[in-house]
Homo-oligomer: A and B are copies of this chain.
């Protein structure tokens, strides 16, 4: 090997000795061709030795990486995104991809549940298919489906074992469960426990909420739509082609009911949804099928789901930094505004503070942010976070949680304990009293958010925490609901208290 290298070098030397300028020219041309080819990446099967080389490089670099020591400057948000099928929650996929692309790892987690074991040969074909779909859509992400008995187990699989060496996720991203009041409350219990577990495993947690919802998988043929929209961007009359497969009658007859019941429970699809999804025209774009106009809510959902694919224009990303969680709440908007699509957006920072030292706090924050080299347009110190929320909002909250209360004072102790055991998500009167201040704070924050950030392109906000076991799932879910309702796209973020920003350069 070394002999041939020496020979090659000698050849080059002789080449230069004979005719130096011709040799130089040749070298430059060859180099140029090489750069051109590796830059263009033409769609040619280069044969198996190149493929083997790719494998070898991937393995070597990943191994090499596991020998690299951690450094705060090399922190990257490595996201495990609970997308379900990668094409079913486009808004979640696009937004996360915007801040992980070329920066950090992104894994699309998908938990399949059911009592009957699926055929694993089909599963792996499916996996390959969706992985190709991701790459075809220029999404640099891995699709990682698991099959588990229940959601909780499946989340464990992904949180513990996904990734390889240092390429391991450190942030869990989920969609907000818009439909939490409809289905079985045990699903909410599972959902909340996933948040708690992510903290146990030293993950950060991020929750995205669009008021329209996230899950578009019940709308047949949105892939066809996506591709046609790309061509004639900006068209207003959204129509969609319905796949005339065996499922189409079911879907077109009652799409809105499906929309409300299914939308937005992250990756919580059962077997039958899966079978339906497989019949979706995933990669067949040349299909001719009759087109049927969508109903209004689906139209709005579809528009909302594509909002992060467009250029964001001039606007703001509002950061509500209420707790110090290591800095993830600031890092994500910073990474976002570094991207082409978001580069015209300004970062506005909102923090809490005492009313009599607002000016001092603002200056301290401005100094900190410029030390972090984060470009902000405005800092607002809110002195009135802890004032009482409006009466009607408080009573609306109480009305909302009414069905989920245990009301142990109205029944005998034994019956109350029994009910609490069988339905652990119920809110006790004791708890309601204990956390009244925290409840009021969430309601008040929602008022402030509506006042200050109702025109933002994206709100990034600290996720309120609840002690595991101390606060019931229904209570916590209600907090998240009341905090984030009727707002522009909102990202609730909580880092794992690992510092991710530094001002030492």
Contact with B along A230-254 (1 / 0, CB 8 A): 0000000000000000000000000
Q: Which of A52, A63, A71, A144 has the most CB of B within 10 A?
A: A63
The interface size of chain A toward B, counting residues with CB under 8 Å, comes to 62
Residues in B neighbouring A57, C-beta threshold 8 A: 57, 61
Q: List 15 A-B contacts (CB under 8 A).
A: A9-B28, A55-B74, A55-B166, A58-B58, A58-B64, A58-B65, A62-B164, A66-B131, A107-B164, A124-B202, A131-B165, A142-B165, A157-B160, A161-B162, A164-B167
Residues in B neighbouring A63, C-beta threshold 8 A: 140, 142
Residues in B neighbouring A116, C-beta threshold 8 A: none
Rounded to whole Å, the gap between the CB of A219 and the closest CB of chain B is 27
Q: Are B161 and A164 in contact (CB under 8 A)?
A: no
Interface: A76 (CB within 8 A): yes
Contact with B along A87-118 (1 / 0, CB 8 A): 00000000000000010110100000000010
Contacts A13-B24, A16-B20, A52-B74 given; does A62 touch B167 at CB 8 Å? yes
CB neighbors of B among A291-327 (8 A): none
Interface: A158 (CB within 8 A): yes
Name A58's contact: one of B144, B153, B166 (CB within 8 Å). Answer: B166
Q: Are A144 and B167 in contact (CB under 8 A)?
A: no
Q: Are B54 and A65 in contact (CB under 8 A)?
A: yes
Q: Are B67 and A55 in contact (CB under 8 A)?
A: no
Interface: A382 (CB within 8 A): no
Interface: A156 (CB within 8 A): yes
Q: Are A64 and B69 in contact (CB under 8 A)?
A: no
Q: Are A105 and B144 in contact (CB under 8 A)?
A: no
Rounded to whole Å, the gap between the CB of A362 and the closest CB of chain B is 32
Interface: A147 (CB within 8 A): yes
**CA of A59 to CA of B102 in the docked complex: distance in angstroms?**
9
CB neighbors of B among A116-175 (8 A): 117, 120-121, 124, 131-132, 135, 140, 142, 144, 146-148, 153, 156-158, 160-167
Residues in B neighbouring A62, C-beta threshold 8 A: 58, 61-62, 142, 164, 167
Interface: A48 (CB within 8 A): yes
Interface: A68 (CB within 8 A): yes
Closest 3 pairs between A and B when the two form their complex, measured CB to CB: A161-B161, A58-B61, A164-B164
